Chains A and B, each alone.
Chain A
């Protein structure tokens, strides 16, 4: 079942169209990557899901029915431009924002304590936000986003401004949130984190959706027929490949050669493997799927043409 379904949404501002007939389905209890170049319309789409702005055409379904104003209590939103009340104390501010999301003060207090322990920042409750470093403020804002245990979490560039250790911590928490039943929409430019975390993605370019689907399926669909093979017992230059194939890269160490081969023209990998096996000892053979980064660039470039 889809927790969020964006149906044919169009949003125009004076002078330009931010979204044009965009439809996106976010399955429940999954991590959904919302990708796209700067200015493609991602933030507008996120704001529409958050009911900050209304679409000109189309509509949003939340858990199968039209989204209601009360549903925003079920959403946690971490905007790309972070911000908190600078002069307000961390604890007080977290409780306030959780209460604005409809949580009782008592429950919020209990959750806050857990999260403070989890992030090892128990002593910050009475500090003003302006007394914290930028990274610390980011942590606080992340906690505030998830504090009210929303069904849907929307993270816009959640890792920017974090050091690698905290990025890791955050990734663990995001995966754990999914395990606990949250659905996560995750907007980013960081493609490696997309491969690592996302189950599904949608790619938006110039206010239109140009790609949507399961990450693995998309990568497979964009396969470039590149294989990597590790062989020994033969010199690389003596290896005879089918006529359409060419070698992309090679690397030789201690009698073993690792070779990337491309261009097998829709033959089965077994045929290539069989051909090589006749000539050399094969230690490893695998297909190289394109990275999300490659898919992103290729798809956007294709759409621009």
Chain B
């Protein structure tokens, strides 16, 4: 045991002392924080006001478009030809042309401009126009005036409550947490799994392996390496969380005015998919996501509900468990691959069967399981040890049954990594001393079944 500890210590310290580790540890949070900060900065900084000339032949839209921070409207009465000709001379951005036929048979409005409008501008104009036209029709045809319209307007948010626990849940947050957890485990396994593989290859090619296995058992070296690198990963992960939170907190404190302005802005950004994705990956989706999905909803009680709707204890525990369990399972396989080859270029043929279940889980997980977290596909994939680390992490935030889902999956994962470690150890102890031989799957099978 003392020897394993020495190996863990060496594997850990040599990696943590590396310049690349230090750089990544500090660069990572800056990148992650910037994913959150840059959109805020951009949003709080106007890109210059765009002026839209509205050429309205119907006369229905006069002064109806709402102005925003960066979009202003002026209403013109020229004919289309002159308006087009004049646009080039003015600073105005575009002409919104509303043909006369629009009221009866509304089809298309036209936007004439020299530069292409952004998607958000196009969507805004389209939505505004539809809204205005709908309101007009309600007024004209059914005689509903604006006051009545406003009074019938409703803003319902769906509150989901679990019958057993009477806890409210918010699917958006579960979605974000599931996404974040799955992605993190995927990246962690790949990054640190391949570090294990490279470490094994390094020992083999530098030939120090023979000196070491004359001091410790191969399995001790393999386990020591795997555990040491896991601790490097956990260290980096923790530092990232702490530093990212630090940067974001500092930033929020300094720029709090601008952020407030952003949050109470006219367009809640909650539905922008990019926003959801980006904050996920940084592993801090909880607070920000909650605030955004509820948008400008001022109900403080509901916000607090959001925080407590998630069972963080369970999530953090399962995350750490599947994080470490999944890594251990795959790291053993990566170590076996490293031992069977003479250099990194030869790893390709053995990498494929190991990477396929990983890539498969993340693709199925993000596309299918995220939308059907309780389906039978999700259930079975979260039981199989090769896919369960990623799939289960995606499912957990949506709520899983501890006895029928979580415990069987965890037991199977433990058995799974004991199994892969056992197989890997057999390949490893033969492979590390084997040089200059292209190893085939048949050969590997011989190593696994060989009894000393």
**Do A79 and B433 form a contact, CB below 8 Å, given A86-B206, A99-B6?**
no
Is A181's beta carbon under 8 Å from chain B?
no
> Quick check: B6 and A79 within 8 Å, CB to CB?
no
Q: Can you list 16 contacts pairing A with B, beta carbon distance less than 8 Å?
A: A14-B446, A52-B433, A53-B452, A73-B215, A77-B211, A79-B214, A81-B210, A83-B206, A83-B208, A85-B14, A85-B208, A87-B14, A96-B6, A97-B212, A100-B7, A100-B212
Minimum distance in angstroms from A137 CB to a CB of chain B: 11
Minimum distance in angstroms from A58 CB to a CB of chain B: 14
Is B167's beta carbon under 8 Å from chain A?
no
- Among B7, B211, B216, B452, the residue within 8 A (CB) of A79 is B211
- A 97-112 binary contact with B (CB < 8 Å = 1; else 0): 1011110000000000
State the CA gap A210–B95 with chains docked (Å): 102
Chain A residues near B7: list those with CB within 8 A. 100
Closest to B450 in A: A14
Q: How many residues of B contact A (CB 8 A)?
A: 22
Closest to A76 in B: B214
State the CA gap A10–B211 with chains docked (Å): 23
Q: How many residues of A contact B (CB 8 A)?
A: 29
State the CA gap A69–B217 with chains docked (Å): 9
Contacting residues of chain B (338-370) with chain A, CB-CB under 8 angstroms = none
Minimum distance in angstroms from A130 CB to a CB of chain B: 10
State the CA gap A190–B218 with chains docked (Å): 32
Is A84's beta carbon under 8 Å from chain B?
yes
**Do A84 and B206 form a contact, CB below 8 Å, given A72-B214, A75-B214, A97-B211?**
yes
Is A283's beta carbon under 8 Å from chain B?
no
Chain A binding surface SS class = loop
Is A40's beta carbon under 8 Å from chain B?
no
- Among A77, A81, A83, the residue within 8 A (CB) of B214 is A77
- Among B3, B202, B209, B214, the residue within 8 A (CB) of A50 is B214
The residue in B206, B207, B208, B214 that gathers the most chain A C-beta atoms within 10 A of its C-beta is: B214
Closest to A89 in B: B14
State the CA gap A88–B13 with chains docked (Å): 11
> Quick check: A79 and B210 within 8 Å, CB to CB?
yes
Chain A residues near B6: list those with CB within 8 A. 96, 99-100
**Do A100 and B446 form a contact, CB below 8 Å, given A77-B214, A83-B206?**
no
Contacting residues of chain B (198-227) with chain A, CB-CB under 8 angstroms = 202-203, 206-217
> Quick check: A96 and B207 within 8 Å, CB to CB?
no
Chain A residues near B216: list those with CB within 8 A. 100
